[in-house]
Copies of this chain bind each other. A is one copy, B any other.
Amino acid sequence: MNSERYAVMPIGWVESPLVDRAQAPRQGDEGAPPAWLVFEPQMAKGIRDLRVGDDIIVLSWLDRACRDVLSTHPRDDEDSPLLGVFSTRSPDRPNPIGRHRVQILAVEGLRILVRDLEALNGTPILDVKPQSDNAAA
């Protein structure tokens, strides 16, 4: 393995009623609750144009994931054939970056409420991007 490493830092944190993996839905559209994205004060300028109704992609750091997994049974179903992890969305993967498609329900200063977020309470947020591939920049 190449020994190169890059450091990512949380720009904020998820505040959610989901507190453990057993309880979390597999995907956001399978009954995940609304959750707050709580941004660091230093990120205020970066989030200032996020609006209610915006469809965004949140990238998170799945800090409770197992990073040495390369094959997995999809959806933890032992009867499914084992798949290479890069053909799945399993949280257990070498760089456990979660990708969540959500919509903004409310904005209160540094706190942004989003619909259907399957990330656990306390999950670090790494990035937010517009969903549209035609979006600005």
Q: Which residues of A contact B (CB under 8 A)?
A: 1-2, 4-11, 26-27, 29, 40, 42-43, 45-50, 54, 56-57, 59, 61, 63, 70-76, 80, 83-90, 93-95, 97, 99, 101, 124, 126-130, 133-137
Contact = CB atoms under 8 A, between A and B. Distances in A.
A134 B90 CA distance: 12
Task: Give the copy number.
Answer: 2
Contacts of A95: 8-9, 11, 59, 126-127
B127 A74 contact: no
Nearest to A75: B137
A46 B11 contact: no
Given A2-B10, A6-B7, 15 more contacts: A6-B8, A8-B95, A26-B137, A43-B86, A45-B70, A45-B84, A46-B94, A47-B84, A86-B128, A87-B136, A90-B137, A97-B126, A99-B99, A99-B129, A101-B133
